Chain A
Amino acid sequence: MTSDPGPSMVPRVTVAPWVVFALATLVAFSASCTGTIGDAASGARTGSGGSRVITTGSTGGATSTGTGASPPASGSGGSGGMHGAGTGGTVVVSGTGGTAACGTVDPGRITIHRLNNLEFDNTVRDLLGDTTQPASTFPPDTGGANFDNNADVLGMNPLLFERLESATDALANAAVATGSPSLSKIVTCDPAKVGDSTCATTVLTSFARRAWRRQPTSDEISRLVTFVSLAKSNGDGFNQGIALAIKATLVSPNFLFRPELDPDPSATSPRLLNSYEVASRLSYFLWSSMPDDTLAAAADANQLQDVASVQKQATRMLADPKASQLVETMGGEWFGTYKMANVAPLAASFPSYDAALGAAMLQETTLFLTDFFMGTDSFLDALDAPWTYVNGRLAQHYGLNGVTGTSFQKVSLDGTQRLGLLMQGSMLTTTSFPTRTSPVRRGQWVLANILCSPPPSPPDNVPPLDQTVVPPGSSQRVQLEAHIANPACAGCHQVMDPLGFGLEHFDGIGHWRDLDGTAPIDATGQLPGGQTFDGAMQMVAALKQQAPAISDCVSRKMFAYSLGRDPGPADQCQLTQLSSQFAKANYNIRSLIMQMVASDTFRMRRPVAPGGI
């Protein structure tokens, strides 16, 4: 595995021994899970309102590896395989870059990329072993159109700089403090024996290489080494000088940003990224952190210039526990579950909600998505998957029997009125208000995150609803249908609201209900294409028929997150290619990741657009 100095990431939740249920409809899933299907027959459908937890022969961490579909394993083993994702090349990637049909590719350019707060914390963890999350004192990231790693909005401001300078001061001093575990890793020579200058050069060349994710120049090293003489001439020791140099390395834009400096900044033709740049793109995409020693060594050896090498590294990296960050961050921001940290359902309206339930909802979705990111399932199946992960608290919330305790278990949802991603508590809660559901938000969520077709803008001045039409206290549906009747509002709401109506049986924290106040729930509606449905089950079934739109949407999301920039008109051909390959690979997200890192867009950049920017 890796030889990072930092502690390996420990899974946050202990997942119960891998449990599966065998359903005829999940042949692919079951078949890929080698050696774990011990109780297929007992996976039969259960009665209404209940769930069935099907325990199987236990598998531990690494023993379940071997295909791309292994589930989260018992979590205490750290590197034993959070995902146990396959290293055996089970993901089939067609073609190489897959962009031949696009002719001369414009890979675009990414504005110089600042590490966002999450990336900063992860990077100092891997660089210095610091797990204090110093970026928690930084101003929150602004966020781009899709993800928090969008380079266009990751800028610098005086407040951030103040906090950065302060945080790096503490980091640098802690790194060389007497007794610090990182001291011996950083100061690898004895200045009394080899001399201050020689030792400082050794120490700082090595540190700057890791911190700046490239080889530092001799001029840069000379400048850093002078901090040792500065410290000593002011009565301080060698290590104090090293601390100053470390701080200068960390306050530098070479650390905080990921520069991809073009040899010829005025060139208009694309260039292949150098191996250092590819390594950084890979590690911040898959780990939201710096390259590990293996990846860094590949960069030093200039071995990241061809598709096969890049995919080989990506495969290795996805098997690393740090890849859980991809699911948590990309998945969390894509589907909005990161908002679980801030939702506050009001106790008067939702007395059963508390922090433990909220945490369980978030964990459910993370575990669920992990299967789709790391396994071989089709993403389309996420929409109507008749299984999920629950602990005792969440099982109680969903009305499922047979699960207790704090550990999460994979359970069948068969016989319940809930299935798939859209009916998970995290989705239903983050799209609600503190006191009620919002069919508008839920509809917008489906349009924006599953179909990538957010609704058109509302008119400038929204007239109040006519009180004679909508008496106060009317159901959500009656109030919203008044919007639809209003021509000024119909443009958006005719598209948005019906999707949300389909989910109206789930209240503001995802609990099943039959009434909205005193009115029976009406969960009928229709998709943008005109297909009608009654209830959430029919809605997701109809939604699943929109495979081409979903495929395009997932491809766009992958493009945006992997590059830290949003696709533009010039990227359309590449997006079409990605989507087509995604569909051919049975809508498997892991395959899409492999296709993405192989693409010209990922491995190339152009300095200047033919037009000038």
Chain B
Amino acid sequence: MNTILECKNLSKSFGSTKALDGINLTIEKGRIVGLLGPNGSGKTTFIKICNELLTPTSGEVRIKGFNPGVETKKIVSYLPEKTYLNDWMKVSQIIRFFQDFYADFIPEKAYDMLKRLNIDPNSRLKTLSKGTKEKVQLILVMSRDAQLYLLDEPIGGVDPAARDYILDTIISNYNENAAVILSTHLIADIEKVLDDIIFLKEGQIVLNKTVDEVRDESGKSVDALFREVFKC
């Protein structure tokens, strides 16, 4: 099966606010997809639904044929915007934690990346700076041999050097049997790394093309087109 994620008429409302409105989407393996839109466009809502952190109001999402649940969590690796690390563990302990719960976790990969970033596995999570915690989270997520990676604003509050490292990790981690969905509003930096881009505006998909299609057809970068489409 080539399809990793399939989304049919997905809608999510919070009270009277419609965060997602009839999303239809198919994502095949081997693709790196950018979910692009301004804040509040529904990107995080979509990703949370894929992780069973929110339940749809109507419509459905299927990941490798399953609705979000225990079976999908085994094959989906999620990097939220927030720092979700607890404060009592050491880095080595959270690696052990991931190893315990995720069969596809590769500890050697994690330790390798920690070494390259000069993060001491014996340090307590509590003592790490915000930027370092984010790097640890990224390492944990990318050390899994998952079939779908969901990265919510991975380069958001990070310095340019770290940004480069994150993009480099995404490229070098590339697996033609897996798909990557990353959401961001910082497009210029990541455009070249994406296969497909999806513009999400007020809960609806307004564009779904490859990066080169956009550049070919509009003569602009995705970033420039984005600024046009989402002009305030």
A interacts with B: no
Which residues of B are at the interface with A, using a C-beta cutoff of 8 A? none
| A interface list, Cβ under 8 A from B | none
